[in-house]
Amino acid sequence: MTVPVKITTPLSDDSILNLNAGDRVEITGWIYTARDAAHKRFAELIKKGDDLPVKINGEIIYYVGPAPAKPGYPCGSAGPTTSSRMDPYTPALLDLGLKGMIGKGLRSSEVIESIKRNRAVYFAAVGGAAALISRSVKKAEIAAYEELGPEAVYRFYVEDFPAIVVIDSRGNDLYRTAPQQYRG
C-alpha cells in the first residue's frame, strides 16, 4: 500500500499539480463544509455579483452535514454526501478560486472540464467511515448560514483527513479508469 501524500490548506497550484488520480492523501488545515442549501445560496450571491460569506480562494469544500457533536468532541459523524448534487453550482465556485472538493460519487463532464480549467482537484472520502473521518476534525465552527442547522457552512480544522484523489487537475478520473483497470 502506498504512503499517503501529506497536503495542507490552503492548496497551491504546485501541490495540486503534483497529485494524480488514485493518490491517497492526508489533508491538514482548515476546510469548509457545504451541502445543497448552502451551494444554492452561494449561486444566488454569485448571480447577483455579491461576495460569498466565506473566502474560498485556494480552499477545499467538504460535502457534508455533520451530526451534532457529543460532549468533548468538535463534531459528530461526518461522512460525505453525494457530490453530483453540487454539480450545478461547482463550476462557478471553481472559477472564483475554489481548489478542492471532498465528497463521494461521479462528477459531471462540466465539473471535470472546470476542474481542468481551474487547476483544481476532487477528493473522495470513504462513505460509511463517518465516525473514523470525524476523528480527523479537531475544531469546528459555524462560518455561515447557522439557520440551516447541519447544512450550515462550517469551518473545520482537520489533521490527516484521509481521502483519495478521484479527479486530478488534468481530468484523470479514477471512477472511469479504475473499473477498466480491474476488468483487464
How high is the pLDDT of residue 42? 98
What's the CATH code of the domain at 11?
3.20.130.10
**98: which 3 cell numbers?**
475554489
Q: Which residue has the cell 465552527?
A: 141
- How many C-beta neighbours within 10 Å does residue 14 have? 8
Cα separation, 71 vs 58, in Å, equals 32
Domain hosting residue 133, numbered range: 5-183
> Tens-of-pLDDT digits for all 184 residues of the chain?
679 999 999 999 999 999 999 999 999 999 999 999 999 999 999 999 999 999 999 999 999 988 888 888 888 778 888 999 999 999 999 999 999 999 999 999 999 999 999 999 999 997 666 667 788 899 999 999 999 998 999 999 999 999 999 999 999 999 987 666 655 5
How high is the pLDDT of residue 132? 72
**53: which 3 cell numbers?**
460569506
Cα separation, 31 vs 133, in Å, equals 13
How high is the pLDDT of residue 2? 79
How high is the pLDDT of residue 38? 97
How high is the pLDDT of residue 178? 66
Q: Which residue has the cell 462560518?
A: 143
Cα separation, 7 vs 183, in Å, equals 31
Total domains, the chain: 1
- How many C-beta neighbours within 10 Å does residue 95 have? 12
How high is the pLDDT of residue 181? 61
- Strands (DSSP E) found in the chain: 5-8, 24-33, 60-62, 100-103, 121-124, 137-144, 153-167
Cα separation, 28 vs 11, in Å, equals 10
